[in-house]
Each structure stands twice: as structure tokens, then as C-alpha cells.
Structure 1
Amino acid sequence: MPTAIYVHIPFCEHICHYCDFNKVFLQGQPVDEYVQALDIELADAADKYFTEPIQTIYIGGGTPTALSAKQLEKVLASLHKHFTLNDSLKEWTVEVNPGGVTDDQLNVLRDYGVNRLSIGVQTFDPFLLKKIGRTHQPEDIYKTIERARQKGFNNLTVDLMFGLPEQTMEAFDATLKKAFSLEIEHFSAYSLKVEEKTVFYNLLRKGKLPLPTEDEEALMYERLIEQMNKHGYHQYEISNFAKSGYESKHNIIYWNNEEYFGIGAGAHGYINGVRYANIGPVQKYIQSISEKKQARFEANELSEKERMEEEMFMGLRMLDGVSKQKFYERYGIQLTEMYQKQIEQLAASQLIQVTPDRVKLTRKGVFLANEVFEQFLVVE
């Protein structure tokens, strides 16, 4: 049974040019009704599935702090009401934007047990912030982190991006230098992916999105790894770096191919071998919850083969790789037997390393991870 919960808040006060997550402008939205619908879905999930005490919660978006402090408190109270949140709760993360969280909101988060904040910084370059559609300024980053520390939050993670339009290596170096000055516990750093239904996608189609070359992006990633290591951040996953003991416990549940509840409009979950997606449009989600206590839009029961594939391409995202023993315990077949051909080819290409206990990416494989993952999607 799942011991993790993801809750989606789809409201934003502005829409970033690269974002393809399920989100809507806050103004004019039925936010109170949405908060009530979340409560109904949480109650239904708790009633339908016997749940062990919850170990991790992640509230993302959208922008969770687009909710008022009172609305936010109702969401947190619902989680406490319907699920067992005791000493087993190791990590409770909420996403916040620089300059976009109030003292009242921080007080509510702290008082209800949130112990980790994820701060969407992306870059410290004012030109690039404007270019990607962010509304905060660099000084907002420092102020938000200082206020979070004053409120007692001692586990902070910052999101960074590279490969941005017109971003140079010098600009990325400057962002890294400023990021390390924050002395936080964790970083997530992602290269820009231009997704459909975004402002950037439309600009790219018109030839108006000047992106760095693949080689330039790879050099930025190499610099990222080098500098993170130099400053004492351990790379434990392709895009994630942490001080010792501050790895994201919630995300590790995803990468370990374990089950979790997905709550809210457009949320995805994984329960009893079924991956599901909730209804995306906010009004339709509220209506379906209110009338039928039903949020799911689609559900797919994974075959044994699909579960094994996911075990490999998600597990290999972590630098510790996939455990041979865990794979055998779950599927009753040796990993090296199931994927003998793929493993031999990838090892020969020096993209993976096979140890007595695990299969994991080499340093070369980290840079060519998608090529590695593709090999496990088709089994002859």
C-alpha cells in the first residue's frame, strides 16, 4: 500500500513560458470549491485503501502558495484528518516561489508539520528570469530563504535550470556561484525541455527561440556536476544533488517504482499496480468529485513486463542504480537474465556498470541516460 501522497494545486498567478504542468490562472477560479474537492478525494482514498502511516507528502503545482493561508490550512488539515501522520512522516515538502510566500503561509506550513520547502529559483539572471516568464527578482530569492530560515525550516531545496534561451556558460557559472552562497541542503537542476502547449513551443515553431546547442548544454551539465561535487553536494540522481542525509525521500519513492497516492486535478498516482491520471480541468474535476467521488480520467494496470521496464528506467536514474536482489524479490527472475542482451551491449559501450549487487550508470552513461533507458523499453 502507498506510504506517499502527492497533492496537486493547479493555480498560478502567472504562467511560466516553459511550464506544461496542469495549471490555470488563479483569478476567477473556484479555489474554495477545489479545496473542498481535495478533502473529498483524500477521504475517499483513505476509505478505499488500507493505508500504513504516511512517510512522505509532496504538495506541488501550479503554485501551492497561490492559495491563501486559510485555504492552505484547510488542505493541510484534511491530510491530518484522513491519514495517519505521526513519527513515521519523514518528509513533507511544499513548493513555494521566491517572493510568493507570506509569513502567515509559512507559519501555517510549519505548524502543520511541513518540514521541507522547494523553491523555484531557476536562475539568478534577471534577463533570463524575464525571458522564461518568471516574475521574481534575484533579491526575492535571498529574502524568501532568510524568512524560511527564521521560521525554522532547515531543509530547503532549490530548482535550477540550464540550457535556457540565450543562456551562456558565463551566465550559468554566475547562477551556480550565487546558488552555492545560499548554503541550502539540496538542489534539483534540469535542462530545459520544450514541451507542447507552452509559450516556448510556439516560439520554437516560429524560429524565435535561440537555444544553446546540444554540446553547450552538455558542457553546462558537466560544469553543474563538477561544481556540485566541489561544494559538497552528492549527486544521487541524474538531476538531483544533496548534502548527506538530505536526499528527497519522496522522489526516491518514485524512482524506486513504489506506489503513491496522486490527489488533485491532473495528478498521477500508482496504486495496486495501476497507474492512473486524474481529470485535468479544474471545473470538471470538482464536478466529478462532488457528484461521483471519482477523480480518475484514465487508469492502466501494468503488466509484469511493464513494471520491470519501469523498474529499470526509473531506478537507473539514481546513481546507486537498480538492486539485483530487489528486482528478483519483486519479479522472481534475475535482472541480468531478464535483460542479458541489453546489459551486455550497454556494458560494452561503457554506459552501465554491473557490480555483484547492482546495475548502474557509468559517468558516461549519466550523460547519455535517455539512450540507456530506451534499451529497456523493448524486450525481445
Structure 2
Amino acid sequence: MAAPVPVQLSASVPEEPATPYKQYVYAYPHQKAYRLLTDRPLLRDVWAKERLDALSLYVHIPFCEMRCGFCNLFTRTGAPEDVTRAFLGTLERQATATREALEAKGDPVRFTLAAFGGGTPTYLTADELARLCDICEHVMGADLKVLPWSVETSPATATADRLAVLAERGATRLSIGVQSFIDEEARAAVRPQKRQEVDEALSRLKESAFPILNIDLIYGIDGQTEQSFRVSLDAALSWEPEEIYLYPLYVRPLTGLMARHDKDGKLWDEQRLRLYRYGRDHLLAAGYRQTSMRVFQRIGTAAVELSDHAGISEYNQQAGMVGLGVGARSFTTDLHYTTDYAVAVPEVRRIIDDYIATPTEEFRRAQWAFRMDHDERRRMFVLQALLESTGLRTDVYRRRFGTRPQADFPAEFAALAERGWLATGGEELLLLTPEGMAWADAIGPLFFSARVNEAMTSYQER
């Protein structure tokens, strides 16, 4: 491919983002834009127009052994076994109702991708993990021995018995949140773990020989420098993982770090940008390729082969995602739906309790949702493609929507070009430049609709 050529466009340019770290856009729109529906359509009607032979399955396990200081995910710490057991019982009821809705159309139902997220799915015991796999296989009909599927874990919960279950059931990718190999930095991020515990967990993961091992690291921790970040980068590289994710530290409302975080915003942005560039260059020199702002894959490994073959990306959000579990989202062409959502500990516990007590009949209907229209689908398409290193193919966009993305979003693309964040990789390809990729968390929100921004702004944090 020819070297990217800077794009020149003319249009009114939006104001430059105040920070490179506005929002991590892993799905559009954010769950804070969802609202409780009044009509609550039946799932069999919601899925009636969808293609059912290439579905993705996502199961959300909302439990962790601890809550990190930066975490604003939907999760509860320290749930006793009677709660996790009851949760799995409800999950099975939800799965049964969901499968019946999918089968109502009469077309064959087939899953081609699956993931267990959270929370920390390996908070469940080995027996509970086996039951979770049984629900996915025997109720939902997902053949875990055949399709690629991913599981998130932590150093404390990556125990031999749990990993043995996942290996036996065919898990292809294990992702472990390390964040930092330096104990002092882990404590600064309110993640009380020891390097020895991390190394022991990674040793068990390597012995289990999952095709893909991913290690998550965070940059922007208080006191972190290029030298200390390199310690973690090199420690991660020593395990030869197929993937490494580099996450900028965010401090969000109702999280443990929020009350004690008094960093100067400009200085913190400079630190994070500096560490991002250092980490990016270090991993590229070590034989990894960058597929998005966060994702680095070791060249010549199963991670590259799988993502290229299956079209798996950080922003994998096409219609056809079926979510199970409280907090899981499902995506169809016209409707994105989920359950209630919160961050604060009391609200999370209440929502989990309400989920466990939900009558089966309610699982046959969409509850909390966001209705997609033609405009929102275009925005989602642009975000999913542009934020990946493969870029946005304008010919594919035109075939799908009948227009060119530059015509639909002239000001947004002009802003990217004006700042040197946009390039072309050919006549029909728009790409982020390396500096544009560094600003991906600010570029994503440029394409949010006024409707989504208003809904997110009016959302009451809880």
C-alpha cells in the first residue's frame, strides 16, 4: 500500500478538543444514552429482520474480587456463592427466553464469536464456569469447541482449576488485567496486587497454552515515567503474549480515584500522551502491529490470524450481538438494548438483585434501549472503521448508505484534516495518521449525534 497522503478539506472546523482523553468509544452510543422503554417490544419482533447465521454472543459476569480505583464498570465485589449461583440460574432463564426469541423467525441460528466479560468472569468458581459454558452451549447453541471465544481474568482469579475448565471447553483467548508490574504503581491505581501474584498467574496461563494471551497495561498512573513504564512493557513482553492492550488511565465519577485525584489536567494529558507514544514505539519495535489506539498484536501469531480472518476488532459492533447477563448489551439494526446500569456500589447491588428476581416473562422483551435510525447507523459505521488502523473504506460506506462519509460529515472530517489527524491510503480509504490515532479518544466523540450527547449529558450518575 502507498504511504498515506494528508487530506485537504474545506469546511467550518469544530473547536479543537480540550483533551486527548475525552471518552473511550468501544461501542456507540454509550450505555448512558439508553433509556427505559415504554412499549418494551418482544425480542422475537426485535430480531425478526436480522440475519441469524453469524451472531456474536456476549455474557456479562458482574463480579470481581476487588474494585480498582479507576473502574467504572458494572460490577460488584465480594459476592457470596449463593448470589453467583442465583445469578447463573437467572442467566439460564434469560438464555432460554432469548434463544426462543431467536428461533421464532424459523431461520437457523448460528454463533460465530463469543466473549465472557465483566467484571471478572473467573470470579466464578471452576464449577460455575463449567455451568456457564453449559448454558452457552446447550441453551444458546454456541459451539464453544469450534468458535473463537474470549475470557477476561485477573491475577487473583486465574487459578489452575478455573483455567483447566476454560482450556477444556475450548477458550481461545485469555485477557488478564495487570495494569502495572510495579507494586507501587498498582497501589497508586488502587489495585492492591503483588508482582509475585502476577507472575504466578501468567505462568499458569502460559502452561494452559491458550492460543491467544492478552496482557492489559495502563499508562498515566501517578508518578509513572517512561522508565517505569518500560519496566512493565518489558515484563509483559517477556511472557511473549500474542496481544498487549495499552489503556490510558481515566478517572470517572463514583470511582475510587475520583475523590483523591487532583492532577493538573494539562500536565496529566502531556504525561499520558508521552507515555502512549513511548509504549507504542516500544511495542512496534518489538514486533507488534497496532490495530487501534489500544491494541497491539504480535506479528505472525494467532491473534493476527484470527482478527484478520474473523474481522475481530476493538470496536466490533455490527448488528447481531446477543447479550446475556445484567449489564450486557445486544445490538440489532434498529435497536440496541440492555438492562439497567449504574456505577455506585449500592445501585449496582440493587440492579443485580433485581435481575436475579426478574420474572422469565420480562426477559422476552427489550427493557432499556436506544433506537437506532439511519443517521446513528452511519455514525456507528464511521466510528467502528475510522478508529481502527485499517481505516474507513469510502466505497463500502457508499454502497451501504448511498453517500460518501465526507459529504455526510464535512465539518468533522475537515477538523481531522486541519489538525493533521487524517490521511488517505488510496482513493477510497480514509485513515487516522499516527498522531490522529493518539487522539482517537477525542476524535470518536466528534461524530456523536446531538441526540446522543443530550441523552448522555442528562444521564444521572448513580
Q: TM-score, normalised by structure 2?
A: 0.75
Q: Contact 2:144–2:169 at 8 Å: present in 1 too?
A: no
Structure 1 residues 235 and 258 mapped into 2: Cα distance closer, same or farther (>3 Å)?
farther
The answer to whether the 8 A contact 1:285-1:295 is kept is no
* Superposition map of 1:257-268 within 5 A: 257-268=318-329
Q: What CA distance in whole angstroms lies between the structure 2 residues aligned with 1:253 and 1:84?
A: 25
**Aligned twin of 2:454:** none
CA-atom RMSD, angstroms? 2.5
CA 294–288 in structure 1, closer or farther in 2 if over 3 Å, else same: farther
Counterpart mapping for 1:299-314 below 5 A: 299-314=369-384
Q: CA deviation at 1:45?
A: 1.8
Mapped to 2, the partners of 1:105 and 1:212 lie a distance apart of 42
Higher relative contact order (CA 8 A, sep 6+): 2
Residue 37 of structure 1: aligned partner: 90
Match of 1:22 in 2: 74
Whether the 8 Å CA contact 1:323–1:358 is kept in 2: the answer is yes
Alignment-mate amino acid for residue 95 of structure 1: E
1:275 aligns with 2:346: no
- Select which of 431, 436, 440 maps to 1:360: 431
Deviation at 1:288, TM superposition (A): 1.7
Take 1:133 and 1:62, find their aligned partners in 2: how far apart are those partners? 16
* Of 283, 286, 296, the match for 1:228: 283
Which residue matches 1:141? Answer: 198
CA drift at 1:88:
9.3
Q: Structure 1 319/258 Cα, relative in aligned 2: closer, same or farther at 3 Å?
A: farther
1:239 aligns with 2:294: yes
Unaligned stretches of 5+ residues in structure 1: none
Uncovered stretches (5+) of structure 2, i.e. residues with no partner: 1-50, 342-350, 451-462
Q: Number of residue pairs matched? A: 377
How far apart, in 2, do the equivalents of 1:165 and 1:294 lie?
A: 46
Q: Write the distance in 1 (CA, Å) between the matches of 2:222 and 2:264.
A: 6
* CA deviation after TM superposition for structure 1 residue 13, in Å: 1.6
Q: What is the 5 A alignment of 1:53-132?
A: 53-86=110-143, 89-132=146-189
Counterpart of 1:160 in 2: which secondary structure? strand
Structure 1 CA distance for aligned equivalents of residues 91 and 315 of structure 2: 22
CA 1:229–1:200 in 2, change beyond 3 Å: closer, same or farther?
A: same
Question: Does the C-alpha gap of structure 1 residues 352 and 90 become closer, same or farther in structure 2, counting only changes over 3 Å?
Answer: farther
Preserved CA contact (<8 Å) 2:97 2:360:
no
Aligned residues with identical type, % of pairs: 23
Compute the displacement of 1:273 (Å): 2.5
Residue 66 of structure 1 aligns with an amino acid whose one-letter code is: Y
| Contact 1:3 1:53 (C-alpha < 8 Å) held by counterparts | yes
**How do residues 291-302 of structure 1 correspond to structure 2 at under 5 angstroms?**
292-293=362-363, 296-302=366-372
* AA aligned opposite 1:362: T
User: How far did 1:57 drift?
Assistant: 1.0
Counterpart Cα distance in 2 of 1:324 and 1:87:
35
CA contact (8 A) 1:107 1:151 kept: yes
Partner of 1:46: 99
After superposition, give the CA deviation of every residue in 1:169-208 in whole Å (9 maximum; x if it has no partner): 221121111111111100111101111110111223xx48
Separation in 2, partners of 1:89, 1:258: 22
The answer to whether the Cα contact below 8 Å between 1:77 and 1:112 also exists between their aligned partners in 2 is: no
State the partner residue of 2:210.
Answer: 153
Matched position secondary structure for 2:244: strand
How far apart are residue 220 of structure 1 and its match? 0.2
Q: Distance in 2 between matches of 1:368 and 1:107?
A: 40
- Is the aligned partner of 1:328 residue 2:398? yes
Deviates more, 1:127-136 or 1:247-256: 247-256
Deviations, residues 205-250 of structure 1 (Å, cap 9, x unaligned): xx48999621121110000110010011100111100023515568
Contact 1:122 1:160 in 2 (8 A): yes
Query: 3-state DSSP class of the match of 1:100?
Result: coil
In 1, Cα distance between equivalents of 2:122 and 2:210:
16
2:208 and 2:227 map into 1 onto residues whose CA distance is 34
| Equivalent residues of 2:217, 2:245 under 8 A apart | yes
Q: What residue in structure 2 maps to residue 169 of structure 1?
A: 226
How far off is 1:321 after superposition? 1.2
Query: Aligned equivalents of 2:385 and 2:253: distance in 1?
Result: 27
Partner-residue secondary structure (3-state), 1:279: coil
